Amino acid sequence: MTNTAQPDTAQPDPVQNDARAKRNVIVLVMAQAILGSQMPMLFIMAALAGLMIAPSPALATIPISLIVFGSMTTAPWLSAVMQRYGRTTGFYIGAIGGGVGAAISAYGLWADSFAIFLVGSYFSGIYMSAQGFYRFAVTDTASPAFRPKAISYVMAGGLLSALIGPQLIKVSADATVIPFLSAYGLVVIINALGAILFLFLDLPKPEPAQAGAPKGRTRSELLRDPKIIVAMICAAVTYSLMNLMMTSTPLAVVGCGFSTGNAADVVSAHVIAMFAPSFFTGHLIARFGATKIVAIGLFLLASAGAVALTGVELFQFFGALILLGIGWNFGFIGATAMLTAAHAPEERGTVQGLNDFVVFGCVTIASLSSGVLMYSGGANVVIGWNAVNYAMVPFLVLAGAALIWLAMRPEELAD
C-alpha cells in the first residue's frame, strides 16, 4: 500500500493556515459590532451631555477629548500587557475600562459634576484603546495574503455598531429625567455581555523570550524607517481629521436648529460610511497597494471639508459626513496595512503601541481643538463649523506630502 501521508516538514496549505484566522475574524467582527456600538453612542452623547453640565460651551467637547486621551495614554502599556500576557487579557481590560467609565460618567451626570464626568470619559478611553488593537490581533494568525482582507473584515464589524449605537441613543437618551443617564447604563451592560465573546478567540499565546532571540529595532530605529513613519503620519492625520469634524457635528447640527435625533442620524450615516467600505477595502489594497488607497482616502477627506463649507442644511451635513467616513476607511485601513507590513514579529508590541500613542495623541489634540474652533465665532455656529473645516487643510497637505516623499523612494515602497 502506498503511504500518502505528508512528512512533518511539508508546507501547510495556505487555506488551512487561514482557517484559524477566519475564526478569529468572526469573533472580532462580533466584538466590533456589540462592544463597538458604545463608541458611536459615546461620541454622540458625550459632547451633548457635556454641554449640559460644562461650565462653558467651549468645554463641551472635552469629554470626547478625555476619551481619546485615555486611549492615547493606555495604548503603550496595554500593548506591552498583550505582548506579555496575550491579546485576550488586553481585551478584557478594555471591556472593564469601558464599563467602569460608563458607570462613572452616569454618576457624574446624576451628581451634575463635570469633573466626575471627565473621569468617566477617561476610563472609557481604555476600551477605545483595546478596540484599536482588534485590527492588529486578527493579523497574528493570518497569512500575508489574507492580512489586508482580515483587517478590512474586522473593521467592517463597525457597520453593525453604526446601526446599533445611534438607535440605542434614540430609545434611551430621554428615558430618565436626567438626559443620557440610561444610555450610559446601557453602555455598562454592553461591556459586561460583550466581554463573553473573547472566550472564543484562538490567538497564539506569548512565548517567553529565549536567549539569543532577535529583539527587534529600538524605538528610535523604528522611527527612522520611512514606511513606518509615513504610515503613522497618514493614520494620525486621517483619524484626527475624522475626529475633529465628527466631534463638532452634533453641536453644529443641533446648533443649526435640528434635533438630537437628526444629529444621531447624521452620525449614524457617517459611522456606516466609515465601515461599510471595509467589505472591499482589503481587496483594493491587495490589488492596488496600500499607498494608493491612502491617497484616495485623503482626497475624500478633503472633499468632505469642501462639501461642509457649501452650507448647513441637513443634506449637506449628511453628504460631508458620509464622505468623511469613506475617507477615514480608506486612509486608516490603508495606513494600518502599511504598518503591519513594515515591522518584524518581535517588533509588534513596540510598533503597535507607539503607533496608537501617536495616532490618539493627535486625535486628542483634534478633539480639544474642535470645541475651541466651533465656538470661535461666539454664538455663530456657522462660523465655527466653517473654522473646523478650514483647519483640515494643512494636515491634509502634510499627509499628502509624506505619501509623495515615500513614492519617491521606490526601494522603500513595497506594498
pLDDT digits (tens, 9 = 90+) for 27-58: 999 999 999 999 988 988 887 888 888 888 77
CATH architecture assigned to 17-205+218-407: Up-down Bundle (1.20)
Model pLDDT for residues 132-159, shown as the tens digit of each residue: 889 888 888 888 888 888 888 888 887 8
Query: pLDDT at position 25, please?
Result: 92
Query: pLDDT at position 230, please?
Result: 92
Residue partners of 22: CB distance under 8 A and separation at least 6: none
Instruction: Please state the φ and ψ torsions of residue 5, each to the nearest 5 degrees.
Output: -65, 140
Percent of the chain with pLDDT over 90: 40
Query: pLDDT at position 411, please?
Result: 61
- One-letter amino acid for residue 394 of the chain: P
b (16+ CB within 10 A) / e for 195-225: bebbeebebeeeeeeeeeeeebbeeeebeeb
Instruction: Please state the φ and ψ torsions of residue 77, each to the nearest 5 degrees.
Output: -75, -30
Q: Which residue has the cell 472564543?
A: 200
d(CA 101, CA 95): 10
Query: pLDDT at position 293, please?
Result: 94
Residue extents of the structural domains in the chain:
17-205+218-407
Query: pLDDT at position 191, please?
Result: 96
- Output the CA torsion sign for 156, 253, 382, 306: positive
CA angle 376-382-384, nearest 5°? 20
d(CA 265, CA 52): 21
pTM confidence score: 0.73
CB 326 within 8 A of CB 273: yes
Model pLDDT for residues 208-236, shown as the tens digit of each residue: 656 556 677 777 788 888 888 999 999 99
Q: Residue ranges of the chain with pLDDT lower than 50?
A: 1-16, 414-415
CB 398 within 8 A of CB 233: yes
Query: pLDDT at position 38, please?
Result: 92
